[in-house]
Structure 1
């Protein structure tokens, strides 16, 4: 049976949430067709990474979080496939799909409200209802809300709250997974990176028990992330960086080590005198190598990251820039070392500082591998460090 679901939400983070819950109840594949969001309005609209190396709508994180595979995009044989199994096909508009030529197609649509939604079928009414919890995670009405029994703490998430709820939901959801697993009660303080500078960083961040620097495609966030990382380093506040966040952390430490603010990421600051992050590779056609998909990483034995992840590790990647190898030695003078590389040994996949309460980042996207009941170890370690600060 083919179930065609229209989800016309304008917000990338909500797209596909109810269809994912519905597909799980059917043990069905969830496929997607013709998805487009305005990346001028939502720079992170298409930043969900599949294991096989595709960038898709960020709301499709709900598909992977429900345990469904990141299936291939629809093919011309989808009607034939639907005769042998249940397939849920997700579209932004019914108009984009030729249902008139299909047999045995059930058509449903998602109706959104503020923090809830319904899946409805004409003539049959409501098929499924769900709501978003405080961490933006979608739950059916039958699922009980998580309850914190442990310590309370303040986490400064360096990003606009609307960005976490409207375009890229994975970071906040992963933070919630870790908090639930530990029984922690988090006061998540959203601080736009664009609002942070060297003059106000202390005012904004001094009472935080942890600072989380998320990834993203908007380079306007970089300067504020660097200032947040610098302050966290100097104030001994636990700092976690994800993808772009790791790049900001490394850049902040490089500036401190070399006593120069003329160090910057080439992607965000093309005219920087010294590149903290440089293109991985530029071919003869001038196109940057895009490292994308699930990639194995090589962990440095004895490192904190190795203790968290074990001997065999992999990470979902989405980047075209790498840490400038020439900066590894200056970083090490302040105690920040590379604790994981790619399989070739030429790309830094994680950094950490063993003398800091917690200062660690990964070039990939551990938040995309987090699930309810199975948080990523890096988020767990970060919140444990924040808890120690809150109890000090």
Structure 2
């Protein structure tokens, strides 16, 4: 599929070390260009052989971000959506696994007419095709290549963008390279040699960077800027300093001050209006208006890995900005609650949040955290598995269903209040028929955005101020509708369900100050400029709890 003739490409590469922030730098530049009236798409090319991120461990790769159309992708796509108004799709993330799968399928069908299938041209052509599909309709498409220059896994992607640059010409392609300029404390010097070598490595494969983004922990001196320019053949004004800032949402303004967006617009010869970053200025200024601090106890498995809950952390950050509240997250290991009890571990928290997750480890600690929040009337938000443990806890302790559980954790539970739909969908007779289900882990989940109807008079309806909402999902197990009637009689409120098939989407407690669970992942749709009604309501409730307890203590 040929790309639209007006689409320009900014290819973003990284050097020296990984995790320098290519995704945030790319998204920040895209945000500036969008504010100038340009339509910007963003793509991430990942060199791993996994077809997608769905089966990858958060310990290795951080969170799995889910797009609106149900793709399980790299967490950088979350940055893209938080900085841009547009939404990413499955075409926005291309992996080596996808590319090779596509090529092999074509070879098996005979599409190559007997040719010997090789990395060049077949793999590189497929990569370029994927880029062009993702760029459809954009004025500018920013293409981020994962990993660093010199990695053997990235070579086919780098060769592909080299070929695209040659084919499209300078008026439709440019290269932006992110590097590290370290400060050596013992000598009091900034060292440009790593950047020089990284640019040299890029040139050795035929790519001359047009822009260098230099990550530093302090402003880049003019003398070092000129030195980098001299040794990398990049214009001095195109050597951009990207310092460590205390707020990632300051980055668009920081890059705009150095006229990075002007470099892009002038390179492509595009007529665009002046940048308007007033919305980002308001986002940054909102931190100065936060007059109360609340502590949120987040009970999960990955307490040492903030990237495992990246979108969730950002959603709480956004809610704090929109409610004038400083949000401090206390990461709580669910197994610690199993060992020590909720009264000891969660004491002093202004609210409790149990996020999504998979697997049995720490599940009883999460259930105990939910019970602690319910019995002590502390605001509670359960997301995905967090909603499921709320149902399990209520079934056990308020309905008397001893041993109630999810069949994910206990296939032999006497009360499978959470189960695969294939295990309960024929329970109209009142009997629960457990069925065998394939253990295959790919393609068995409810993924992507789906619509839900919220019941009038509920807290959920109040938060969203809408009857029909759309949120993204990533789960296999569902609330078992065979237990709906007894749970509702005991006081559990079913406040939201899918529009089409009446799967339970939200639960809450009417006699609790603020207790909600949702089967979907609202964190994926929260943005710094708009926030999210569910998180804003949660933080307001935490703030009210904090202020009430502070007043009682005086």
Give TM-score scaled by structure 2 length.
0.62
- Relative to its length, the structure with more helix (as a share) is 2
Distance 1:10 1:211, change over 3 A: farther
- Residue 251 and residue 35 in structure 1: after superposition, are their counterparts in 2 closer, same or farther (change >3 A)? farther
Tell me which of 346, 355, 362 is aligned to 2:518: 362
Supply the distance in 1 between the matched residues of 2:360 and 2:59 (Cα, whole angstroms). 13
**Inter-partner Cα distance in structure 2 for 1:346 and 1:186:** 35
Contact 2:32 2:252 in 1 (8 A): no
Q: How does 1:115-264 map to 2 (within 5 A)?
A: 119-120=213-214, 123-124=234-235, 126-127=239-240, 129=242, 131=244, 133=246, 139-140=251-252, 142=254, 144=284, 146-159=287-300, 160-164=302-306, 166-197=307-338, 199-217=340-358, 219-260=360-401, 262-264=403-405
Contact kept in structure 1, 2:64 and 2:74, CA below 8 Å: yes
Q: Is 1:150–1:182's contact at 8 Å kept on the other side of the alignment?
A: no
Which residue of structure 2 lines up, in the alignment, with residue 343 of structure 1? 499
Q: Which entry has the higher C-alpha Rg, 1 or 2?
A: 2
1:108 and 2:176 correspond: yes
Secondary structure, aligned partner of 1:147 = helix
2:240 & 2:483 partners in 1: Cα distance?
Answer: 56
Equivalent residue in structure 1 for 2:421, among 280, 301, 310:
280
Corresponding residue of 1:49 = 66
How far residue 173 of structure 1 moved from its aligned partner, in angstroms, is 0.6
Offset from partner CA, 1:44-72 (integer Å, 9 cap, x none): 74521111111111231111111243042
Residue aligning to 1:308: 463
Greater mean alpha carbon deviation, residues 336-345 or residues 41-50: 41-50
Aligned to 1:321: 477
- Summarize the Cα distance change of 1:87–1:320 in structure 2 as closer, same or farther, 3 Å threshold: same
CA distance in 2 between counterparts of 1:88 and 1:253 reads: 48
Selected match of 1:18 from 17, 22, 25: 25
- Separation in 1 of the partners of 2:309 and 2:250? 14
Q: CA deviation at 1:369?
A: 1.1
The superposition leaves residues 251-304 of structure 1 with CA deviations (integer Å, 9 ceiling, x where unpaired) of 111111243552222223334332231113379984675211111101112111
User: How far apart are residue 198 of structure 1 and its match?
Assistant: 6.8
Match of 1:294 among 449, 468, 490: 449
Matched, 1:374 2:544: no
Cα pair distance change 1:5/1:151, threshold 3 Å: same
**Aligned equivalents of 1:301, 1:83: Cα separation in 2:** 40
Cα offset, 1:137, TM superposition: 6.6
Does 2:82 correspond to 1:70?
no
Q: Indicate conservation of the 8 Å contact 2:447/2:474, yes or no.
A: yes
TM-score in terms of structure 1 length? 0.86
Residue 34 of structure 1 corresponds to: 46
Structure 2: gaps spanning 5 or more residues: 1-7, 35-39, 95-126, 148-153, 183-211, 215-228, 255-280, 424-434, 549-554
C-alpha RMSD of the superposition:
3.3
Q: Is the 8 A contact 2:401 2:415 kept in 1?
A: no
Q: Give yes or no for contact 1:257–1:333 (8 Å, CA) kept in 2.
A: no
SS of aligned partner of 2:353: strand
Q: Describe the SS at the equivalent of 1:373.
A: coil
Q: Distance in 2 between matches of 1:69 and 1:373?
A: 15
Q: How far apart are 1:337 and its partner, in Å?
A: 1.3
Secondary structure of the corresponding residue to residue 42 of structure 1: helix
Cα gap change, 1:264 to 1:31, in 2 (>3 Å): same
Counterpart-to-counterpart distance in 1, 2:33 and 2:503:
41
Cα distance in 2, alignment partners of residues 384 and 51 from structure 1: 27
Does the C-alpha gap of structure 1 residues 3 and 341 become closer, same or farther in structure 2, counting only changes over 3 Å?
Answer: same
Q: For residues 207 and 113 of structure 1, what CA distance do their matches in structure 2 show?
A: 43
Structure-2 change in CA distance of 1:348 and 1:157 (3 Å): same
Deviation at 1:170, TM superposition (A): 0.6
Match of 1:173, SS?
A: helix
Q: Is the 8 A contact 1:44 1:217 kept in 2?
A: no
Question: Which secondary structure does the structure 1 equivalent of 2:529 belong to?
Answer: coil
- Structure 1 residues 138, 197: CA separation in 2 closer, same or farther (over 3 Å shift)? farther
Give the number of aligned pairs: 386
2: CA distance, partners of 1:83 / 1:232 = 48
Offset of residue 236 of structure 1: 1.0
* Separation of aligned partners in 1, 2:179 and 2:400: 54
- What is the rounded CA distance, in whole Å, between the counterparts of 1:44 and 1:100 in structure 2? 27
Shift of 1:16: 2.0
SS in 1 for 2:457: coil
Moved more, 89-98 or 241-250: 89-98
Task: Give a deviation string over 1:327-350, Cα, whole Å, max 9, x none.
Answer: 323333442211110123431000
Residue matched to 2:185: none
Distance 1:252 1:29, change over 3 A: same
For residues 83 and 16 of structure 1, do their structure 2 counterparts lie closer, same or farther at Cα, with a shift above 3 Å needed?
A: same
